[in-house]
C-alpha cells in the first residue's frame, strides 16, 4: 500500500480544461462543470491553480439556481493544497469560504465569511492533503489494476480525512466525446466514515484506458439522488 501524493502533482497539465455535462435524477442536462488548470509561481514556489465552475442549466435552473466557483492552489512539488477558495449562490444562500494550510504548525484555517460561526482551525493529520476533485483526477496517472488500492488525505469542506481509492474493474462508458474502455476508481473510508460517506454516499470516477487516460465520467450518489458527470469538451495541455 503506497501513499498517493508522495510525488509531484500530475493530475493536470498547464492549460488543460475539462467540461462535464451533469445529469441529476431524470434530468440529463441539469448543469455543467468546467475544470481548468494553469501553472503559476507564487512567492517563488511552483504551483498549479485549479478552478472549478459549476452551474445549473435548463429546466433545473428554473427551479433551482446554482452557481459555484472554487479555486485550489496546489504545490506542484508535493501535491499538497496551499489554498482553497469557494464562492457562489445557491437559491438565496451565498457561499464565501477560504481555507489556508500552514504546514509548519500543521493547522488549516477555515474561514466562512457568510456563516462566521462555522470558521475554525483544523489540525492537519499526517500526510499531504489534496482536494477531492484533484485527488479523483490524479488517479489517471496511477496505473492501477483491478484490486489495487492507494491511501490519501483529502480536504473536503471543513474536514480533512483519510481515504482509500480502490480500482474496481473495467467498464465501457459512452460520453458525448465517444465510447471508452475505462477503469472504475472508488474512494471509501475504511474506518469511522465521515461526511457523505457517513450518510451512505458513494463516489466513482471512470478513467479511460487510452487518449491520455481522461477521467471521462464521475458519479456522486446521495440518499436523495445521483449526479452523473460525462465529459463533453476537452482542451489538452499546452505543449
61-88 tens-digit pLDDT: 434 445 789 999 999 999 999 999 998 8
Going by pLDDT thresholds of 50, 70 and 90, the confidence category of residue 37 is very high
Q: pTM here? A: 0.87
Task: Give the residue carrying C-alpha cell 464565501.
Answer: 96
Domain at 2-235: CATH code: 2.40.360
* pLDDT cut 70: percent of the chain above it: 88
Contacts of residue 210, Cβ cutoff 8 Å, sequence gap at least 6: 180, 181
Q: 10 Å Cβ neighbour count for 133?
A: 20
Output the average pLDDT for the chain: 86
Going by pLDDT thresholds of 50, 70 and 90, the confidence category of residue 55 is confident
Domains of the chain: which residue ranges?
2-235
Average pLDDT over residues 110-134: 91
Higher pLDDT, 127 or 74: 74
- pLDDT attached to residue 91: 61
Rounded CA-CA distance 229/89 in Å is 21
Higher pLDDT, 55 or 144: 144
The pLDDT tens digits of the residues spanning 199-222 come to 677 889 999 998 889 999 999 887
- pLDDT attached to residue 7: 74
Task: Tell me which range, 18-32, 80-94, 169-183, is most confidently predicted by mean pLDDT.
Answer: 169-183
DSSP string, the chain: -EETTSS---SS-TT-EEEEEEEETTEEEEEEEEEEEEEEEETTEEEEEEEEEEEE-HHHHHHS-EEEEEEEEEETTT--EEEEEEEEEETTEEEEEEEEEETTTTEEEEEESSSGGG-EEEE--SS--EEHHHHHHHGGGS---TT-EEEEEEEETTEEEEEEEEEEEEEEEEETTEEEEEEEEEEE-SSS--HHHHTT-EEEEEEESSTTT-EEEEEEEETTEEEEEEEEEEEPPP-
Amino acid at each position: 500500500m503506497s501513499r498517493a501524493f508522495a510525488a509531484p502533482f500530475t493530475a493536470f497539465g498547464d492549460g488543460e480544461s475539462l467540461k462535464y455535462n451533469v445529469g441529476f435524477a431524470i434530468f440529463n442536462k441539469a448543469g455543467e462543470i468546467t475544470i481548468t488548470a494553469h501553472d503559476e509561481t507564487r512567492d517563488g514556489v511552483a504551483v498549479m491553480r485549479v478552478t472549478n465552475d459549476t452551474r445549473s442549466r435548463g429546466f433545473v435552473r428554473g427551479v433551482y439556481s446554482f452557481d459555484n466557483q472554487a479555486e485550489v492552489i496546489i504545490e506542484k512539488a508535493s501535491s499538497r493544497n496551499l489554498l482553497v477558495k469557494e464562492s457562489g449562490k445557491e437559491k438565496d444562500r451565498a457561499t464565501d469560504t477560504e481555507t489556508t494550510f500552514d504546514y509548519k504548525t500543521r493547522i488549516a484555517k477555515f474561514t466562512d465569511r457568510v456563516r462566521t460561526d462555522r470558521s475554525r482551525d483544523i489540525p492537519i493529520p499526517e500526510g499531504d492533503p489534496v482536494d477531492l476533485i484533484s485527488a479523483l483526477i490524479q488517479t489517471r496517472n496511477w496505473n492501477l489494476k483491478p484490486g489495487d488500492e492507494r491511501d490519501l488525505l483529502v480536504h473536503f469542506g471543513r474536514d480533512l480525512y483519510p481515504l482509500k481509492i480502490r480500482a474496481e474493474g473495467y467498464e465501457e462508458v459512452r460520453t458525448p466525446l465517444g465510447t471508452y474502455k475505462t477503469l472504475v476508481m472508488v474512494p471509501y473510508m475504511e474506518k469511522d466514515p465521515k461526511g457523505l460517506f457517513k450518510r451512505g454516499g458513494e463516489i466513482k470516477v471512470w478513467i479511460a484506458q487510452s487518449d491520455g487516460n481522461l477521467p471521462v465520467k464521475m458519479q456522486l450518489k446521495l440518499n436523495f439522488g445521483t449526479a452523473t458527470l460525462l465529459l463533453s469538451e476537452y482542451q489538452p495541455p499546452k505543449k
